[in-house]
Chains A and B, each alone.
Chain A
């Protein structure tokens, strides 16, 4: 469509003409004429085309299999995962749109900083298992794409078998004596348990809003939650809450000593429904439409289902995929000596 050199002399000439036209009547006409000759970036999509780069944020805390930890490969430091593949699809579509290659510049930052950086305009978008439908002031003021991953529902895992049994017993008791307010069912299933959540993720926001009687342990990352639990620090973590695809992946491949909380039927216990979306600035209307269209096409073509299968069901080793198809990232933005952090016990509500 367009191929522009942002530093061409005509751009300077354009600036001069615009400056001169400020004091004249009919400057809109001049602007229109100039715009035909040298189009000026009018929105965030044009701006990406001009830069030939798209600034993308990703959490440095791993959300397996969506974002794996940064590792070293034969090609250098790389990051991989389902979310990275989504980024590649979006970037490829941007390159097509801009008619010149657009490079994704990945910024690996702490999950909580993604929102700040987007707010400050340092990112065009970010992708990190963020649910679009989380009612919280901390999620206000941002725009969420249509989902790229359905069923990112919140669930829990436990290390001790008696906890799993206790939750089931609570659920059985509820079936026998349903509470007057059915909405309290989940709260009662987890009654009296110490629950760990990753700070500012949907599981944290959910727990804060709905599990008011539980003791909460706020962790900087999922690895930190496991580390806290392994250390048997008082209070012992009974349950770790999080997105079921992440927790399910962890207990089936990485932490096989933990298990998902299940209903008496054996089906996973879900606390709420979630869908993962790409996050953008609220006023990035064209970029939002663009990303929505890319995701819609991926969904319609069956690619999203393929992605899900590829990352959640297939047997693979992420270092291999990181080496073969991972993306490099901007090292400068990554926290030096990145620490997966720790956990702290929240004061009782």
Chain B
């Protein structure tokens, strides 16, 4: 009987040790994967914002009814923009060269975000295609808010646009985001992102800064205090100033991404 107990204890100890080692290694790998996935999601949302920005004149053209800026056209441009920014061609994910590594979890999530973004452009068609109306408020920020909200609703990942002084109160930063933004606002422009485990290691929070480019300054530039076309007071920003961030919150389990 004693032998049986010893054998059983040994088996249990071996199993526990094996599990511990496995989970430790699993943790490191999964966090890295989650981090890369978060970075790519933020990049994709930013790419969508850029596509809207590039088409702003077309969208606001009062003389044109059907703008031809369909969800499909948007998707093509989005994929192209994302490829330029990351080197990843979402249209050829299955035949990508080995040099381009895409985390397994990222593939599905990126497609989900493309889908959510297309839905936003699809729903906005009635607004975009009005002829005789110029400014329609379909701008990078409003596109981004909706795309992020739709994606987050369908996923366990929370995608959000934020800024220290956002125009949309729903985009207020949480304490962590505010601290990162404050830190970044004093630093020169960087393409890096900030990643940290929060909630006692339960959640991965990735903050990717976004910076003002020339096109943004029509509404966010100078003279400070003057009303822009949408009626908000201009912030008086300059090109290269920190505009805000795209943040991605991914819940983690000990075993990795909690899907």
Contact = CB atoms under 8 A, between A and B. Distances in A.
Contacts of B170: 74
B136 interface: yes
A227 B231 contact: no
Given A320-B232, A336-B126, A72 B66 contact: no
A71 B137 contact: yes
A320 B66 contact: no
A319 B229 CA distance: 9
B65 A74 contact: no
B132 A70 contact: no
A189 interface: no
Contacts of B231: 316-320
Nearest to A317: B231
Nearest to B231: A317
Interface in B208-236: 227, 230-232
Nearest to A340: B132
A200 B146 CA distance: 37
A72 B230 contact: no
A318 B227 CA distance: 12
A320 B132 contact: no
A23 B168 CA distance: 64
Contacts of B230: 317, 319-320
B245 to A, nearest CB: 17
Nearest to B143: A72
Contacts of B128: 72
Interface string B126-152: 111111110111110111011000000
B127 A336 contact: no
B124 interface: yes
B123 interface: yes
A317 B124 CA distance: 20
Contacts of B142: 72-74
A76 B123 contact: yes
A81 interface: no
A32 interface: no
A334 B126 contact: yes
Interface string A321-349: 01100000001001011111100000000
Given A72-B138, A320-B230, A223 B133 contact: yes
Interface string A40-75: 000000000000000000000010000001111111
Contacts of A317: 227, 230-232
B172 to A, nearest CB: 13
A221 B65 CA distance: 14
Given A74-B168, A317-B232, A323-B168, A62 B127 contact: no
A77 B130 CA distance: 12
A70 B130 contact: yes
Contact of A338 (B131, B139, B146, B227): B131
A224 B132 contact: yes
A227 to B, nearest CB: 6
Contacts of A76: 123, 146
B168 A77 contact: no
B252 to A, nearest CB: 29
A223 B131 CA distance: 9
A331 B131 contact: no
A69 B168 contact: no
Nearest to B144: A74
Given A74-B146, A221-B132, A317-B230, A339 B65 contact: yes
Contact of B131 (A316, A334, A340): A340
Nearest to B233: A317
A59 to B, nearest CB: 13
B111 to A, nearest CB: 22
Given A76-B123, A223-B133, A331-B126, 12 more contacts: A69-B133, A70-B126, A72-B128, A72-B143, A75-B146, A77-B123, A227-B132, A319-B230, A336-B125, A337-B131, A339-B65, A340-B132
Listed from nearest, the 8 A-B pairs whose CB atoms lie closest are A317-B231, A340-B132, A223-B132, A72-B138, A74-B145, A71-B137, A319-B230, A337-B129
18 contacts: A69-B130, A69-B136, A71-B137, A71-B138, A72-B128, A72-B136, A72-B137, A72-B139, A72-B143, A74-B168, A74-B170, A317-B227, A318-B231, A319-B137, A320-B232, A323-B168, A337-B129, A340-B133
